């Protein structure tokens, strides 16, 4: 019963490419990329209550890992994904350690610093990391290949997240979010779970970053991973709302599709118009749904339940 | 004396939890009224409905006029001063700044209001620059009272003024309240767990039980009936 | 006189405002001494210090706006830089319509105030119970304002008349531009005005009370919502000042405040997120520090300026999260 929505979604995703043009396939890839990144952030913030505005940094590290491994060592592109996952997981753990001492807005600012600083590194070490021109993976891929890879990652991420969160780890995560003191006194080893959350979260973002690089002609450039990316992931997570995996789907769709939707609004025209529309829509969505899609779903839950089983 | 405060069938809730199930009481101008009852009976909530801290349904009249849901700042402007649980003192600000805030709704300089307050709390003058959070519990309670008086209210709502204070201080504070009532004509509604001392101060009392007035009357009467004392007042 | 002295005395014990403790003050005096001695010894040191102070003053002005909003509502306003930029464009438009620079400057301030208030009332107040929603709205505003300004005025560089003139003074081999001095003076002046407002006026006291304990403030008759709106208005004015002070060096373009916002975050944290004086001191310190590090440590090339600023931010957060002047404020309702 519970698996029906997931199965339906999987089928839709599988047959969609047959109906989409190349351009729209490309868009779908972006949806998948952001879905994975937002899922990562959602795990961190939604389930352990730690805020991060730094996930663009993890995406950058993952993306550069893919580009570098392909460019210098000629790795198979698919194999770079687990490598990226591993490396960003470790970086996530490293970031999670000082994060233990921070919370709330302080943590947000510190992670923001991380996101801002990481793209500067390729500019500094330009010889090895390619400077502002970036690093190029050694071969390019088709739209369909991208679609399959990105949505496979998305599917795997969804399942992994679901498994992780329903088990003991998930309960521990939720306990940390709701009350650190209570969690610690009931035996949850806080530092381990909090850093673990950062590691997992970063790993998801890292893989998303790798796929992003593959989707942009194999180029990893600092400009791709600017502040805006971290902000977009944050927006996506807020739109998704906390505590619902399906909300994350909506969040991914929102961020993946909105830029191009904004660009196609006729009256204002071209790139600046896109920002105006995007900004307006983000604001409107937050005004209407402060708790995101998850909040909306929670409000509808009792209604749905009464529809199925009417009150006496 | 005309009634200053009238509650008729006032209900209030915190989210899904109904706290007041229909409270009706009347306090005349110049009276001191005590609101008593066990924990959770709704005493604090009753005060909150008057000051507008909590939304309510039912009739509430202040000085004969219906009181809309104006919120705490609105009721302050109408002449209702509420000293809440925890005293509502600004611990981070100085004594003088706390007093200035008490006089916020008054026109003109706070200094004139302060002159009157000083007669009841002479020790405040030398402590003006002290950070309010560093005062002792009793001093903070008196500061809260002084601040409320700076407002020159018509109605003073006090939530458990004796809480956490040594008996000597409690006596002192209640003495000051009585003075304010007698000299300034200040109407007082005081919520208290310490029913004994509250009944000695007040002329009339209301005993709340599960969000309703279970018992009311002149405090002398309630003090005398032993069965009432035992069942409702615990002594 | 005694009342005033008493009030001054209470400043030291007062938790709001300059919560500087003795070790911090001593540290700052030592640092200042170091800068003076270094400047006397080396011209390059002096030049970098002066340039650093001028840049730092700009970081500090924007940090001041951030701190004001954070103090009142515990929200980081990601759109602060863009609001500052937009109000600077408004001033620019006023000069295009024929007003002199300073007339435009002083007319922009009340406009900025009203805009700031409007933002709080229309966009922030409806969702103020959810901090995440407020932050996202400020992010949305960031993007929206950027787009709006580019749409209305275009992305090309524009120029306003220099407010303090272009004269450069030379003293002992160091160049001081009138512009730098002017920016410094304006920043310090803003902090002083703000301090006067908060310490001595009824409105200032009410704003502090509303920020510290909204429920208690409400009970004494303070209209807390309006105080918050005024806080945003005030922050917007400070942002406008920061933008106008930035324009001479960065020129007028939609991206002009973006990097500065980032440095302003670091400056605000360094100074203490709840301290206005700290914001300015933090900004000045950061500006000088970055310049000196850039000059004397070869590894620290310009690309690393932002990472270094954030390394400072991280260090402060880990070692003394309340910053130089901050004091642990227990937020209660």
> Which of B69-78, B104-113, C13-22 shows the lowest mean pLDDT across its residues?
C13-22
pLDDT tier at A103 (50, 70, 90 boundaries)?
A: confident
Residue A307: burial class (beta carbons within 10 Å; 0-12, 13-18, 19+): exposed
pLDDT at position C10, please?
45
Distance of CA A305 to the CA centre of its chain: 31
3-class secondary structure per residue, chain C: CHHHHHHHHHHHHCCCCCCCCHHHHHHHHHHHHHHHHHHHHCHHHHHHHHHHHHHHHHHHHHHHHHHHHHHHHCCCCCCHHHHHHHHHHHHHHHHHCCCCHHHHHHHHHHHHHHHHHHHHHHHHHHHCCCHHHHHHHHHHHHHHHHHHHHHHHCCCCECCCCCCCCCEEEECCEEEEHHHHHHHHHHHHHHHHHHHHHHHCHHHHHHHHHHHCHHHHHHCCCCHHHHHHHHHHHHHHHHHHHHHHHHHHHCECCCCCHHHHHHHHHHHHHHCCCCHHHHHHHHHHHHHHHHHHHHHCCCCCHHHHHHHHHHHHHHHHHHCCCCCCCCCCCCCC
Nearest by Cα to C67 from C217, C245, C277: C277
pLDDT at position C12, please?
43
pLDDT digits (tens, 9 = 90+) for B116-129: 888 888 888 888 89
Do the Cβ atoms of A43 and A197 come closer than 8 Å?
yes
Q: Report the first-to-last Cα separation within chain C, whole angstroms.
A: 36
pLDDT, chain A, mean: 81
| Residues of chain C found within 8 Å of residue A275, distances taken between Cβ atoms | 143-144, 146-148, 150
C-alpha distance from C56 to closest chain B C-alpha (Å):
30
**Percent of chain A surpassing pLDDT 70:** 83
Q: What is the mean pLDDT of residues C279-283?
A: 92
Backbone angles phi, psi at B135, to 5 degrees: -75, 160
pLDDT digits (tens, 9 = 90+) for B18-36: 889 999 999 999 999 999 9
Backbone angles phi, psi at A35, to 5 degrees: -55, -50
C26: left (phi over 0), alpha (psi -120 to 50) or beta: alpha
Do the Cβ atoms of B35 and B23 come closer than 8 Å?
no
Distance of CA A33 to the CA centre of its chain: 7
Q: What is the CA radius of gyration of chain C?
A: 20
Q: How many CB pairs under 8 A join B and C?
A: 86
Q: List subunits contacting chain B, requiring 3 or more Cβ pairs under 8 Å.
A: C
Tokens of B98: 């706390």
> Which of A139-143, C141-145, C210-214 shows the lowest mean pLDDT across its residues?
A139-143
pLDDT digits (tens, 9 = 90+) for B55-104: 888 889 998 888 888 889 999 999 999 999 888 899 989 999 999 999 99
CB pair distance less than 8 Å for C10 and B96: yes
**Percent of chain C surpassing pLDDT 70:** 92
Residues B81 and B95: their CA atoms lie apart, in Å, by 18
pLDDT at position B225, please?
72
CB pair distance less than 8 Å for C307 and A102: no
pLDDT surpasses 70 at B232: no
Tokens of C223: 């209209």
Tokens of A26: 């490309």
Maximum pairwise Cα distance, chain B: 52
pLDDT surpasses 60 at C333: no
pLDDT, chain B, mean: 88
**Percent of chain A surpassing pLDDT 90:** 19
Residue A226 per-residue DSSP state: S
Do the Cβ atoms of B34 and B198 come closer than 8 Å?
yes
B105 touching C, CB under 8 A?
yes
Nearest by Cα to B157 from B40, B71, B52, B12: B52
Cα B53 to Cα A91, A262, B57, C211, C220: the distances in Å are 49, 44, 13, 18, 12
Do the Cβ atoms of A146 and A81 come closer than 8 Å?
no
3-class secondary structure per residue, chain B: CCEEEEEEEEEEEECCEEEEEEEEEEEECCCEEEEEECCCCCHHHHHHHHHCCCCEEEEEEECCEECCCCHHHHHHHHCEEEECCCCCCCCCCEHHHHHHHHCCCCCCCHHHHHHHHHHHCHHHHHHCCCEHHHCCHHHHHHHHHHHHHHCCCCEEEEECCCCCCCHHHHHHHHHHHHHHHHHHCCEEEEECCCHHHHHHHCCEEEEEECCEEEEEEEHHHHHHCHHHHHHHHCC
pLDDT at position C85, please?
95
| Residues of chain C found within 8 Å of residue B77, distances taken between Cβ atoms | 221
pLDDT at position A170, please?
66
Tokens of A183: 């969690």
Strand B32-37 relative to strand B17-28, pairing: unpaired
| Residues of chain B found within 8 Å of residue C7, distances taken between Cβ atoms | 129
pLDDT surpasses 60 at C8: no
pLDDT at position C332, please?
39
Residue C35's contacts (CB-CB under 8 Å, 6 or more residues apart) are C49, C288
Q: Where are the alpha helices (DSSP H) in chain A?
A: 4-15, 22-42, 48, 55-73, 77-99, 104-117, 120-124, 126-129, 143-166, 168-178, 180-185, 190-215, 227-240, 245-263, 270-288, 292-308
Q: What is the mean pLDDT of residues A216-226?
A: 85
| Residues of chain C found within 8 Å of residue B104, distances taken between Cβ atoms | 202, 206, 220-222
Q: Most C CBs within 10 Å: which of B51, B55, B69, B72, as the mutation test of the C interface?
A: B72
Which candidate from B92, B94, B104 shows the least CB-CB separation from C222? B104
| Closest residue in B to C13 (Cα–Cα) | B131
pLDDT at position C3, please?
47
Do the Cβ atoms of A55 and A230 come closer than 8 Å?
yes
C175 touching A, CB under 8 A?
no
pLDDT at position A145, please?
84
Q: Most C CBs within 10 Å: which of A122, A125, A238, as the mutation test of the C interface?
A: A238
Residue C8's contacts (CB-CB under 8 Å, 6 or more residues apart) are none
| Closest residue in C to A99 (Cα–Cα) | C318
pLDDT tier at C6 (50, 70, 90 boundaries)?
A: very low
pLDDT, greater one: A50 or C143: C143
> Which of A61-65, A175-179, C93-97 shows the lowest mean pLDDT across its residues?
A175-179
pLDDT at position B178, please?
93
CB pair distance less than 8 Å for C14 and B105: no
pLDDT digits (tens, 9 = 90+) for A142-200: 878 888 888 999 989 988 888 877 776 666 666 666 666 666 666 666 778 788 888 99
pLDDT at position C18, please?
46
C-alpha distance from B83 to closest chain C C-alpha (Å):
8
pLDDT tier at A303 (50, 70, 90 boundaries)?
A: low
CB pair distance less than 8 Å for C220 and B104: yes
Residue A135 per-residue DSSP state: E
Do the Cβ atoms of A281 and A262 come closer than 8 Å?
yes
Strand B65-66 relative to strand B56-62, pairing: antiparallel
C-alpha distance from B167 to closest chain C C-alpha (Å):
27
Q: Mean pLDDT highest for which of B164-168, C90-94, C177-181?
A: C90-94
B97 touching C, CB under 8 A?
yes
CB pair distance less than 8 Å for C212 and B102: no
CB pair distance less than 8 Å for A101 and C318: yes
pLDDT, chain C, mean: 86
pLDDT at position C5, please?
47
C11 touching B, CB under 8 A?
no
| Closest residue in C to A242 (Cα–Cα) | C132
Name the pTM for this structure. 0.85
Q: What is the mean pLDDT of residues C125-144?
A: 87
C130 touching A, CB under 8 A?
yes
pLDDT at position C301, please?
83
């Amino acid at each position: 019963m519970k698996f029906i929505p997931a199965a339906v979604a999987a089928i839709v995703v599988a047959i969609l490419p047959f109906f989409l043009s190349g351009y729209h396939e490309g868009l779908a890839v972006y949806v998948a990329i952001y879905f994975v990144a937002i899922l990562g952030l959602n795990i961190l913030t939604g389930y352990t209550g730690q805020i991060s505005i730094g996930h663009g940094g993890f995406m950058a590290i993952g993306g550069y890992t893919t580009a570098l491994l392909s460019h210098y060592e000629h790795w198979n592109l698919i194999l770079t994904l687990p490598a990226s996952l591993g490396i960003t997981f470790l970086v996530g753990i490293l970031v999670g350690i000082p994060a233990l001492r921070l919370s709330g807005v302080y943590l947000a600012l510190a992670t923001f610093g991380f996101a801002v600083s990481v793209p500067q590194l390729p500019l500094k070490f330009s010889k090895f990391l390619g400077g502002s021109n970036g690093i190029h993976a050694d071969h390019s891929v088709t739209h369909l290949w991208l679609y399959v890879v990105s949505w496979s990652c998305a599917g795997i991420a969804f399942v992994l997240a679901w498994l992780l969160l329903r088990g003991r780890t998930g309960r521990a995560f939720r306990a940390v979010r709701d009350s650190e003191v209570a969690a610690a006194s009931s035996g949850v080893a806080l530092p381990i779970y909090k850093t673990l959350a950062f590691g997992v979260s970063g790993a998801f973002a890292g893989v998303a970053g790798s796929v992003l690089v593959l989707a942009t002609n194999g180029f990893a450039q600092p400009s791709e991973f600017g502040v805006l990316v971290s902000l977009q992931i944050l927006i996506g997570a807020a739109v998704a709302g906390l505590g619902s995996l399906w909300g994350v789907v909506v969040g991914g769709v929102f961020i993946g599709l909105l830029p191009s939707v904004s660009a196609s609004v006729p009256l204002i025209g071209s790139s600046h118009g896109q920002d105006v529309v995007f900004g307006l829509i983000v604001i409107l969505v937050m005004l209407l749904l402060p708790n995101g899609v998850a909040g909306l779903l929670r409000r509808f839950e009792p209604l749905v339940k009464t529809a199925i089983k009417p009150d006496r | 004396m005309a009634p200053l405060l009238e509650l008729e069938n006032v209900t209030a809730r915190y989210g899904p939890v109904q706290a007041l199930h229909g409270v009706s009481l009347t306090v005349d101008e110049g009276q001191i009224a005590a609101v008593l009852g066990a924990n959770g009976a709704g005493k604090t909530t009753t005060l909150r409905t008057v000051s507008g801290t909590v939304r309510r349904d039912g009739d509430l009249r202040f000085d004969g006029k219906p009181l809309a849901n104006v919120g705490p700042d609105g009721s302050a402007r109408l002449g209702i001063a509420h000293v809440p649980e925890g005293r509502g003192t600004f611990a981070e600000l100085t004594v003088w700044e706390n007093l200035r805030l008490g006089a916020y709704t008054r026109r003109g300089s706070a200094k004139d209001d302060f002159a009157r307050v000083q007669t009841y709390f002479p020790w405040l003058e030398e402590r003006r620059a002290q950070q309010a959070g560093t005062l002792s519990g009793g001093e903070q309670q008196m500061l809260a009272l002084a601040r409320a008086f700076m407002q020159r209210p018509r109605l003073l709502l006090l939530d458990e003024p004796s809480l956490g204070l040594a008996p000597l201080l409690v006596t002192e504070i209640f003495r000051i309240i009585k003075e304010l009532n007698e000299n300034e004509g200040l109407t007082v509604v005081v919520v208290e767990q310490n029913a004994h001392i509250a009944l000695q101060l007040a002329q009339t009392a209301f005993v709340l039980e599960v969000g309703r007035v279970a018992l009311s009357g002149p405090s002398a009467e309630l003090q005398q009936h032993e069965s009432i004392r035992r069942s409702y007042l615990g002594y | 006189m005694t009342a005033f002295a008493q009030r001054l005395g209470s400043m030291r014990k007062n938790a709001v405002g300059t919560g500087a403790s003795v070790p911090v003050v001593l540290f700052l005096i030592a640092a200042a001494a170091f800068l003076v001695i270094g400047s006397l010894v080396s011209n390059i040191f002096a030049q970098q210090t002066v340039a650093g102070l001028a840049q730092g003053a700009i970081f500090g002005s924007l940090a001041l706006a951030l701190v004001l909003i954070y103090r009142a509502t515990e929200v980081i306003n990601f759109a602060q830089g863009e609001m500052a930029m937009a109000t600077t464009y408004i001033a620019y438009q006023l000069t295009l319509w024929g007003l002199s620079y300073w007339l435009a400057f002083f007319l922009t301030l009340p406009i900025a105030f009203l805009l700031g208030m409007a933002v709080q009332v229309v966009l922030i107040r409806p969702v103020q119970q959810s901090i995440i929603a407020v932050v996202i709205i400020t992010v949305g505003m960031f993007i929206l304002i950027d787009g709006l300004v580019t749409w209305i005025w275009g992305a090309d560089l524009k120029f306003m008349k220099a407010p303090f003139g272009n004269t450069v003074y030379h003293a002992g081999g160091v160049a001081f531009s009138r512009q730098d001095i002017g920016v410094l003076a304006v920043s310090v002046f803003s902090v002083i005005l703000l301090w006067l407002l908060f310490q001595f006026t009824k409105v200032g006291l009410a704003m502090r009370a509303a920020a510290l304990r909204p429920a208690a403030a409400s009970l004494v008759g303070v209209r807390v919502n309006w105080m918050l709106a005024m806080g945003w208005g005030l922050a917007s004015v400070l942002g406008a000042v920061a933008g106008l002070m930035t324009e001479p060096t960065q020129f007028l373009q939609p991206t002009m405040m973006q990097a500065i916002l980032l440095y302003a975050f670091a400056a605000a944290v360094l100074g203490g997120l709840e301290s206005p004086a700290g914001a300015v001191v933090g900004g000045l310190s950061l500006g000088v520090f970055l310049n000196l590090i850039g000059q004397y440590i070869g590894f620290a090339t310009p690309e690393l300026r932002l990472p270094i600023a954030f390394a400072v931010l991280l260090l402060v957060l880990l070692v003394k999260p309340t910053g130089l002047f901050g004091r642990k404020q227990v937020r209660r309702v």
